Amino acid sequence: MELKNYMETIVLNYLDVVLEKYPNCCKCEQCRQDIVMLALNHLPPKYVSSDKGNVFTKLSLTELEKEVQVIEEIAKAIEVVSRSPRH
Ligand SMILES: [Zn+2]
């Protein structure tokens, strides 16, 4: 059994969608990683065992409210990284 932070999956799913709204933000590997890290630091982790595929589907349906929060945190992280990129 492998534990996985489902929140990471959600953040990665939304990263590109949110990045599209920030054409000036650098999209190199370092900056993308920093954005994901910053956003995850502000979001509650959701651990699931990855061998139960159906858990993912259930969570994504019941966590819709949190997804709004995820998008907000990604947007904030993009602004922070844009101000002082580490690359
Ligand atoms: Zn960069």
**Under 8 Å between Cβ of 56 and 9:** yes
Q: Which residue has the higher pLDDT, 69 or 75?
A: 75
Those residues with Cβ within 8 angstroms of residue 10's Cβ, 6 or more apart along the chain or in another chain: 60, 63, 66, 67, 70
Q: How far is the CA of 15 from the centre of ligand 1 (A)?
A: 14
In residues, how long is the chain? 87
pLDDT tier at 6 (50, 70, 90 boundaries)? confident
Q: Which residue has the higher pLDDT, 50 or 34?
A: 34
Q: Which domain holds residue 61?
A: 3-83
Q: How far is the CA of 33 from the centre of ligand 1 (A)?
A: 9
The confidence score (pLDDT) of residue 44 equals 87
Q: How far is the CA of 64 from the centre of ligand 1 (A)?
A: 30
Q: How far is the CA of 38 from the centre of ligand 1 (A)?
A: 14
- Angle formed by the axes of helices 53-62 and 6-19, nearest 10°: 60
Residue-wise pLDDT for 13-44, tens only, equals: 999 999 999 999 999 999 999 999 999 999 98
Q: In the predicted model, what is the mean pLDDT of the chain?
A: 86
Whether residue 81 has pLDDT greater than 70:
yes
Query: What domain count does the chain have?
Result: 1
Taking the CA atoms of 37, 41, 20 and 79 in sequence, report the sign of the dihedral they define: negative
pLDDT tier at 51 (50, 70, 90 boundaries)? low
Q: How far is the CA of 56 from the centre of ligand 1 (A)?
A: 31
